[in-house]
Amino acid sequence: MQYVSTRGSAPARDFEGVTLAGLASDGGLYVPAEWPRFTQAEIRALRGLAYPDLAARIMAPFVAGSLTEEELLAICHNVYGDFGHAAVTPLVQLDAQHWLLELFHGPTLAFKDVALQLLGRLFETFLERRGERLTIVGATSGDTGSAAIQAVAGLERVEIFMLHPKGRVSEVQRRQMTTVLSPNVHNLAIDGSFDDAQAHVKLMFTDPQVTGRLNLGAVNSINWARLMAQVVYYFASALQLGAPERTVAYCVPTGNFGDVFAGYIAARMGLPIERLIVATNINDILHRALSCGDYSAGGVTPTITPSMDIQVSSNFERLLFDAGGRDGAALAEQMRAFEATKAMRLTEAQAQAASALFTSARADQVETARAMQWAYRAAGQVIDPHTGVGLHGALSVAAAGIVPAGIPLVTLATAHPAKFPDAVERAIGVRPALPARVGDLFGRAESVTHLAGDYAATRDHVLDKAVGSQG
Ligand SMILES: *Cc1c(COP(=O)(O)O)cnc(C)c1O
């Protein structure tokens, strides 16, 4: 499989190339040159497969030429064999129409594990083949950092330096990072804000003292392999609910548009998806874009759903490319204008193609809490606030008849409620407990280095501790 850039001028690459590269050299994002299609009979034949076997079948066309089927299958068993639930992403029924797809049974209790655990193994496989090493540097305000650390802990050819603003991440989030005591994991607590930590990371990528010695990498949400891994649970859940004979709708709590774009990919591959509901909190650039074509960035307002507090949605560019007729030169122009003015309008073609599959919904704090209360009272389910934003969207589009009553409507449950215990307790009066397998989090030793907020201190520490890029 070859991949092309959404901005049309970077050279095409194979799966190994796009996994290691992340962003394309023209600033665009990689997408497959064409979508692999599964016939109805082929989809039917996937029924009953265990998750790791299904994952290998769904991802096979995307990795063709870079991994053999045996290699891919071994990686999938390795990655998905030790999730906290045998089904990996189990479905839970809420009522006659509504379901939850639990994506939080990985090591850090959020859906990002499903993709990042795979990405870690892919890095290791490709680096081994090339005799190279990779030094990942990143900044986190909470969730992504812990999922990335867990994804690479103990790997031979990857090391990770994760910066977080000292004292500004929750205790659960900090401990999920600092209690990973692997020699290739380095937690750095930086004086200052998340933006300060992020600025240090950006400077390292352009600092010749660093790039001259280290093969730097990132694990941000635009990496193609992450989206590919997320396609699998759309197939897994739809098959359980009767696909391909029955169509299924999904509601997805959305930030960077990665998780919901994976649903779009599944639809392009032939999975009969009735509708994809893009659920946002009050940071609603996507809701405005999909409901009236206005894609304009405002400031970010902090909410009880921090993983969806975004200003722009990086993966949205992939939809604009595909839905707008795959004209890289035109999209490059559109994105340049957006980057200059922080605002743009969708073209008629983009808006029409998007509305054929997507509907959007927005939830404020009160609506989010109400959905969490509904899940608890009507179905006995304790859900996290991100899932609450999604469920609010699902309940409202069902009430409006946008998804007919006979069609199952699945809300993606993106985090375990115990990751956000304060918000859950405020909404439903119940404090969720951590699952047993991470229940000793508060008793584990931590490893973290405190650094003053200046860039030179961060850089010198990384250069001192890094093993570097030699095989
Ligand atoms: C990252 C995240 C999201 C948003 O996912 P995107 O792929 O960025 O749209 C939603 N919920 C939780 C809990 C997350 O960690």
What tens digit of pLDDT does each residue of 420-455 get? Answer: 999 999 999 999 999 988 888 999 999 999 999 999
Q: How many CA atoms lie within 13 A of 449 on its CB side?
A: 17
pLDDT tens, residue by residue, 241-297: 999 999 999 999 999 999 999 999 999 999 999 999 999 999 999 999 999 999 999
At 236, the pLDDT band (50, 70, 90 cuts) reads very high
CA–CA separation, 85 vs 89, rounded Å?
7
Stretch 177-190: mean pLDDT: 97
296: phi then psi, degrees, rounded to nearest 5: -135, 135
Could you please state the CATH topology (level 3) that the domain comprising 91-110+224-428 is classified under.
Rossmann fold (3.40.50)
Per-domain boundaries in the chain: 91-110+224-428
- Answer whether 0.75 is exceeded by the pTM: yes
- Per-residue pLDDT for 471 more than 80? no
Q: Which of 414, 420, 424 to mutate to test the pocket of ligand 1 (most atoms within 8 A of CB)?
A: 414
Query: 190 CB contacts (<8 Å, ≥6 apart)?
Result: 163, 164, 165, 166, 196, 197, 200, 451, 453, 458
Residues 112, 166, 419, 465: which is the catalytic one?
A: 112
Ligand 1: residues with CB < 6 A are: 110, 112, 143, 221, 253-259, 307-308, 386, 414-415
At 310, the pLDDT band (50, 70, 90 cuts) reads confident
* pLDDT computed for residue 258 by the predictor: 96
Q: Which of 101, 176, 251, 308 to mutate to test the pocket of ligand 1 (most atoms within 8 A of CB)?
A: 308
- Per-residue pLDDT for 470 more than 70? no
